[in-house]
Every structure is written in C-alpha cells, then in structure tokens.
Amino acid sequence: MSLKNLSERLAALSSVIEENEGKLGGKALVKSAKLFEGQLAKFEDRIGDAVQGSNPQVRELQALLTGPDRKLFTVAACRAIYRKALGKNPPPDSFKTPSSAVKTLVSELKSSAKAKLALAECRQIISKSTAPKGQVAKDEERLRLEMNRLGALDDEQRQYELETRYRKISDLKALASANGIKLPKGITKQKVLKSVIARAQRVRGHYLG
Amino acid sequence: MAAKAIAFINFKGGVGKTAGAVNVAASLAYYQNKKVLLVDLDPQCNSSFWLTDPHFCRNHTKGGKNSVAQIFTDHIQGSSIFDFDTAVLRGVPYVDEYSMVPRLDLLAADINLLNVEDKIYQNKYAQFYRYLYKTLQPIYDQYDYIIFDCPPNVYAVSKNALFAADYCVVPYMPDFLSLSGFQILAQRIDDFNGRSSGYRQGRKPCSIAALIVNHYKRVGNVYQDAIEELKTILAQLKSDGLVHPKCSLLEPPIRTCAAVAASTGAHQPICVYDEGSNGGTDFYNVSLALEQHIWSLR
C-alpha cells in the first residue's frame, strides 16, 4: 500500500467516525480505539520527523537543552553527553561556550541514531540535580512527606530517585511501612517498589487544583 | 472559662458531619458531664430532627423565629427578634417531656437558612461572617463546648461557624472520593482565616485540629489504606501550615452501625439509644479522644 492509499483510507475512516460519532461506543471499540491512538501517535511522530528532517528524540533533546534547566548543561556536561552518545571526544573548537556546545551537540546528533542515548543522559543530569541530597529520612512524619513528594514527581524523575536514593530494600521498606503499606515477609524489592509507586500516585491523585 | 467552640465541617455531603456532631456532643454531655450546646447550621435540619421530633421542632422554631436562622435574619434586616433563652432547647432529647441528656442543649435550624445564603450578601460592606459569633458570644461562658454542625459547603453560614469556632473537626469517609479535595478544604479554611484574622480580637484562627473517620469497615485493606493515605496527606498539610500543627486523626474510626441509623428515627443520640452498640462504643471513645486532644492544644 502506498502512502497515498493510506491517506485516502484515513480520510474515509475519518468521515465515517465523524458522521457516526454519537452512535459509536462499547468496550471492544474503545479498546481498539486506544490501541489505534497509540499507533497513530507513533506514526504522526514518524511523519513529523520525515517532514521536518529530525527525529522526536532530537526535538525533545533540543527542548531540554534550551529549556528551563539549560543552566545545568555546562560545557563539561555537554562534553559528557557527547561522549556518551557518540562514543568519541567532542571537537574542542565548538565546545568553548555552553551555547556553542549545545548547538554542535544537536547538529551532530541530528544525523545520528544515538540521540536516544543523549536524551537519557540529559534526563539523568536533570534528575540528579533535582533529587534531594543526603540520607533517606527515618521518622514517620518525614517519610509521609517523602511519599507526597514522590507522588508529585513525573515518572522518570520518580524512577531515578527510587533507583538511586532507595538502593537498599530496607530504606524502601521503611518508606512503605511508615505510610501504612503492609508488606509480607520475603517480599522482593520490585514488589515493594510497585507498592510504593502505586501509593505515591494515589496520594497525589487526591490533590485537586 | 469560655466554651471551646468546634465546627464540624466538610464540603462533601454524606461523610458523617451530623452523625459526628450529634453523637460527639451527646457523648461529651452524657459521659463526661460537660455542658454542651449543639448549633444546627444546616437548612436540612438533620441535627435538629435527630434530637427532636420534627413536628415538635417545627412548632418550637415558629417559622424560624426560634431557630439559628433568626440570628442571620436579624443581622441582615436590622431587627432584634432572636432571643437565645427562648430559642434554645435545653436537655435534648426528650421522652414524654423528660430530658434524656440534661447537659445537652440544642439551637435548632430552620429551612429559612436557605434564604440566608441568598440575602446575606445584600450589604456587601458588612462583615457577614461575624453575625453568629456576635450573637452567641455572650453565652460562651455558659458552656464547656459549643459544637456547630455545618452544611456541606464553605459558603456564608459555614464561614460564620468558622469565625465563631476555635477549631474545626473534619469528618470523612475512608474512600478515594472522600479524600479528593481535602487539601482544597484546608486551603479554603486557611484563606478565610487569613482574611478574617483582623477581626478575631485575639482569638486564634480556627484551624483544622482533628479528623474523624466515619463508616469504617474492617473488610480487606480498602478502608485501612484510605486512612493511611489520609495520614500521608495530613503530614503534607501540616508541613504546609494549612492545618493545626498538632492536627490528628481521632481514634478509633467509627464503624458502620445499624443502631446509629436506627437512632435517628428514635430521635436520640446513640449513647442513649444503644450505648453498647459498635457506634455507641466508637463515639464514646472518639469523644474521649477529642476532649483529650482539645486539652492538649490549649
């Protein structure tokens, strides 16, 4: 099937949905629509990349490097990202100032599949800078506050903090039990993590506005 | 010593505000010998009809004249019809004119409270939230506790209760929906306290000092998990200064109890209707916990 055929099918489908929107529903249809929506989002990204000549990772990377956290991306940080993503040292001439380093980084990654690696490194730098320093709290009141804080984080930041600050299962268990999560004996770290994340998200869900 | 005034408030309906206010007030009077005034501020008159027969109550309030609604009407219209000694029902409930709880008094509500919400803003320069306190302040010395049963909102009448009270107690049900918005309620109360603090004449702002869990069931983990979630949220609200620094969840949770439901039809508090029931035991223990907690805050 050519892209032209696909475009015609999508247009036809679109008009059928539009005409019958009020009649369409049901569990099976919703399930199928959700699956299609996911695939469609990916396809839209691919089309967008093809039209703009960049991939979504690079666009996201650019947004991160020039966004509110841009001060974190010093020359040294950009060098580290470059090395991690491209596996070689960056050209010294273009890595003199943070802005030139960012520019070079983005331009070189545009043609590279390593953009994903660079993006992960960037996120790690942001997560590291925003995660609280020092030991995990011990008393109940602070551990309850910590649960609220974890609930307010986005998924990636929460994941980072749980992996780096809660390496020991004993710390995770202390966090869980201070927040009244009952844990059976011999529970795995993965299961404690799952319970903690679920509770943190639920608690945060109660905050309106 | 002036009464400790406590507002039972939550903008969610059906969480047990009235059950909490009526039964805690009755328990304080019945078991702990405290002189208690229960002020019904809900136009649905649920506290009033719990403790008195509705026909008797309507006859007594005389179209609102002997009810709490008249306090507001007087302030709005500039009249002075309300007379506390005539309006108050002493020693409710009654059986054949005999008092069942001699130290429990009731200031009944009336459907006219609905009109109050519409009319109270007529004079936009009036500090409408001071009306209730202005009228009741002279009788604060006659009681150990004054308990306000608020309507399920944070509008004008509830704000009057907040201004007249020293502390808030928030009854809630341990499920996901009841917890949602608890921080908004705390923020609303905190905002109101900020705006009205200049007029409290040395009285501390009325912060949320305690929570009571209602409709609790020991089935699975659902209810216990919801209580733990509330405790976690409470820790955050304390840290943000939105509730009293010593705010706590009063133990035990009040279990779901058919006798409490039945007591409404008998127009008696649970301590009189069936003091040995789960509800009777729980409300006795909660009132004890509340009394100790309030003392610890002084």
pLDDT, one tens digit per residue, over B108-158 is 999 999 999 889 988 778 899 999 999 999 999 999 999 999 999 999 999
Given a cut of 80, whether residue A51 has pLDDT beyond it is no
Check if B181 contacts A (Cβ < 8 Å).
yes
pLDDT of residue A54: 64
Q: CB-based burial of residue A82 (10 Å sphere; 0-12 exposed, 13-18 middle, 19+ buried)?
A: buried
Check if B233 contacts A (Cβ < 8 Å).
yes
Determine, for residues A144 and B182 on separate chains, whether the beta-carbon distance falls below 8 Å. no
Copy the structure tokens of residue B170: 């928030």
Supply φ then ψ for residue B81, to 5 degrees. -85, -35
Give residue A67's pLDDT band: very low, low, confident or very high (50, 70, 90): confident
Report CA torsion sign: B47, B51, B56, B62: negative
- Interface test with chain B among A139, A140, A141, A144, by most B beta carbons within 10 Å: A144
A-chain residues near B233 (CB < 8 A) = 148, 203, 206-207
Give residue A3's pLDDT band: very low, low, confident or very high (50, 70, 90): confident
A-chain residues near B218 (CB < 8 A) = none
Given a cut of 90, whether residue A50 has pLDDT beyond it is no
Determine, for residues B229 and A208 on separate chains, whether the beta-carbon distance falls below 8 Å. no
B-chain residues near A148 (CB < 8 A) = 232-233, 235-236
Close Cβ partners of A143 (under 8 Å, ≥ 6 residues apart): A137, A174, A175, A178, A179
A-chain residues near B179 (CB < 8 A) = 206
Supply φ then ψ for residue B169, to 5 degrees. -120, 130
User: Chain A to chain B, count of Cβ pairs less than 8 Å apart?
Assistant: 51
Distance from CA of A185 to the nearest CA of B (A): 17
Determine, for residues A180 and B179 on separate chains, whether the beta-carbon distance falls below 8 Å. no
- pLDDT tens for each residue of A120-175: 888 888 888 877 877 667 789 999 999 999 999 988 889 888 988 898 999 999 99
Could you write out the DSSP letters of every residue in B248-271?
A: EEESSPPBP-HHHHHHHHTT--HH
Determine, for residues A206 and B231 on separate chains, whether the beta-carbon distance falls below 8 Å. no
Provide the mean pLDDT of chain A.
86
- pLDDT tens for each residue of A91-112: 888 888 888 888 888 888 765 5
Instruction: Name residues of chain B where pLDDT drops below 70.
Output: none
Q: Residues A86, A113: contact at Cβ < 8 Å?
A: no
Distance from CA of B179 to the nearest CA of A (A): 6
- Interface test with chain A among B180, B228, B232, by most A beta carbons within 10 Å: B232
Check if B184 contacts A (Cβ < 8 Å).
yes
- pLDDT tens for each residue of A7-29: 999 999 999 999 998 888 888 88
Nearest CA in chain A to B236: A145
Closest residue by Cα to residue B283 from B22, B2, B7: B22
Determine, for residues A145 and B236 on separate chains, whether the beta-carbon distance falls below 8 Å. yes
Nearest CA in chain A to B223: A180
Q: Which residues of A touch B (CB under 8 A)?
A: 141, 144-145, 147-148, 179-182, 199, 202-203, 205-209
Q: Element (H or E) spanning A78, and its range?
A: helix A75-86
What is the percentage of chain A residues whose pLDDT exceeds 90?
A: 34
B-chain residues near A198 (CB < 8 A) = none
Q: Element (H or E) spanning A29, and its range?
A: helix A27-52
B-chain residues near A141 (CB < 8 A) = 235, 238
Determine, for residues B231 and A205 on separate chains, whether the beta-carbon distance falls below 8 Å. no
Copy the structure tokens of residue A44: 């839209």
Q: CB-based burial of residue B196 (10 Å sphere; 0-12 exposed, 13-18 middle, 19+ buried)?
A: middle
Check if B197 contacts A (Cβ < 8 Å).
no
pLDDT of residue A112: 56
pLDDT of residue A53: 61
Check if B225 contacts A (Cβ < 8 Å).
yes
**Beta partners for residue B95, in sequence order:** B98
Distance of CA A47 to the CA centre of its chain: 21
ipTM score: 0.78
Distance from CA of A28 to the nearest CA of B (A): 28
Closest residue by Cα to residue B227 from A108, A139, A93, A181: A181
Q: Residues A187, A177: contact at Cβ < 8 Å?
A: no
Q: Residues B183, B189: contact at Cβ < 8 Å?
A: no
